[in-house]
Structure 1
Amino acid sequence: MYKVDFVEFPSSSATASGQFFEKAFGWAATPYGPDYADVQGEGITLGFQADVAEQPGAPLVTVRTDDLHQARLAVEDAGGVVTVEPFDFPGGRRFHFREPGGSELAVWCSTK
């Protein structure tokens, strides 16, 4: 299974971004410290990264999978290049890759 269900955005204030989407659209924001907020949108989750060292350069589309290792093999076999090795985060694990056209995306799986 592969499904786009998350997009991460750079933000100058994760708290302000989360509060904006709560107020504007009624979506629930969950802060993970001062530099990150998760916003449960309708059908997709938005992440806001305020840590400059961790921010994506552009919105980062993230694909969910049940098998991170198999997804990495599929990405590499199709000509993608892993740009960020797999790492843990609250609730899951992910890696980033660049597809042959130059866009960076990520693949994640739940650790639950």
Structure 2
Amino acid sequence: MKQSRKINYIELPCRDMAATKAFFSQVFGWGFIDYGPEYMAFENAGIDGGYYQSEQRALTKDGSALVVLYSAELEKTLSAVKDAGGQILQDIFNFPGGRRFHFTDPSGNEYAVWSDV
């Protein structure tokens, strides 16, 4: 349901559309809709959004916002990220409220996955 004045959609840069689609489909079960060769929308991700063709990357060290995903099985998700070709930037660590790790997708964008268990 769309809500006025709430975050509704997020767009991220993408160097490799096919690899990014394969990675998030395999690891997180996201669906995708292609809108030409330079844009694809993702769905089933908790919030809808899209990837646009770009050589840029979203990294926190460069001041980017961080997309944080949730997993009830953190170690399993970490293994799935590695198996699908994601690069681990920070292994699992504790923080107030839970544990998390950071990784990059095939396009070099940084994400985190956290768990409260």
TM-score normalised over the length of structure 1? 0.48
TM-score (norm. length: structure 2): 0.46
